[in-house]
Amino acid sequence: MPAGLPKYIETFNLQFEQMKEALKVAESEKDKEYVKGQIQELYRLIEMHVQSLRRIQRLIKEFAAREKVPSSADSGPEPKPEMDEKSRGELTSFLKSLKISETDLQTLRQRGWEMITAGDWDDALSALTRTVELAPDDVRSLVLLGWAYSGKEMYEKAEEIHAHVLEREPEHAMALVNLGYISLKRCNYRDAIQFLSKVMKQDSDSTALIYAHYYMGLVYMERKMLEDAVGFLKKTVEMAPNLLEAYYNLGLVYERLGESEKAVNIWQDIVAIDPGDKWAQMAGKQLESVGDSNPEPEESKQGEFSP
């Protein structure tokens, strides 16, 4: 155990070793299942600590950047509190063999989705990768993992995951929407329209339907077909009034159409709804430079609406 690590890390290692020994000597299936449940609980507890530490680390980095505090690169290598390779391998292998309940799986998916909506791409990718390790056949977890890869702009990996999903469920709406988004980012508008139109025809998943309309609005916005863009963005806002990024881009389209008054009203509404939101801050900047004739569009990376 490296010197200087928090006591709880040593405690986690000790608990894991004790649980492994308990599993070896367990005689009945009931006792074995109990120990497996304890290992699952330990894993979840460690995961909670890891996510909390990463958030604190990110806040420190942001503060350091603002205040010009020297980074860890200036003060030598950063210690990495990890269990040894053998223990990590045993834990990973064992956890893959555990059966996870649907309730626990739903909790993990929700946690991953919350990270996606917050734009915490690294945390989302890490958490959802672990979720898929625990439930490799869970389609919804796979789709969310694909969204996380898209948020990190790792489009090939995202496409690979969604292709796997569509082999099993060819009409999966969220996978199709994400492929539409990836096509939009690659300026492959024809494919984007095909994917998104397919979701709109299904009308089976409310969240997918919202994003299908939103991304379609961005497609037509990029193609400078502004009247069509207005139609899709207005529909998006009707379905999801709290999707401020869609409302913001609707303002941009109106500005490009020469309807500055509508644009200003929209941006003022956004600022009033949630002044601390990043889209409200961007709307505020547009209001400051309202004389600009062609403000640049700001596209979502992925999934900043929580259903």
Question: Pick from 183, 190, 147: which is nearest to 165 by CA?
Answer: 147
Class of domain 103-170: mainly alpha
Instruction: Locate all alpha helices (DSSP H) within 169-205, ordered by sequence.
Output: 173-185, 189-202
Categorize the per-residue pLDDT at 76 as very low, low, confident or very high, splitting at 50, 70 and 90. very low
Helices (H) and strands (E) in the chain, counts: 14, 0
Which pLDDT score is estimated for 71? 53
Which pLDDT score is estimated for 82? 52
Categorize the per-residue pLDDT at 291 as very low, low, confident or very high, splitting at 50, 70 and 90. low
How many alpha carbons lie under 13 Å from residue 143 in its C-beta half-sphere? 23
Predicted TM-score (pTM) of this structure: 0.65
Question: Pick from 120, 149, 118, 117: which is nearest to 132 by CA?
Answer: 149
* Amino acid at residue number 258: G
Q: Which of 59-63, 77-81, 258-262, 276-280 has the lowest mean pLDDT?
A: 77-81
User: What gap in Å lies between CA 268 and CA 158, rounded to an integer?
Assistant: 36
| pLDDT more than 90, % of the chain | 45
Length of the chain (residues): 307
Categorize the per-residue pLDDT at 37 as very low, low, confident or very high, splitting at 50, 70 and 90. confident
Higher-scoring residue by pLDDT: 111, 307: 111
Higher-scoring residue by pLDDT: 71, 214: 214
Residue pair 208/196 in contact by the 8 Å Cβ criterion: no
Sign of CA dihedral 194, 197, 202, 208: positive
Which pLDDT score is estimated for 2? 46
Higher-scoring residue by pLDDT: 4, 164: 164
Instruction: Locate all alpha helices (DSSP H) within 243-289, ordered by sequence.
Output: 244-256, 260-273, 278-288
User: What gap in Å lies between CA 203 and CA 12, rounded to an integer?
Assistant: 47
Q: Where along the chain do its domains lie? A: 7-67, 103-170
Higher-scoring residue by pLDDT: 231, 274: 231
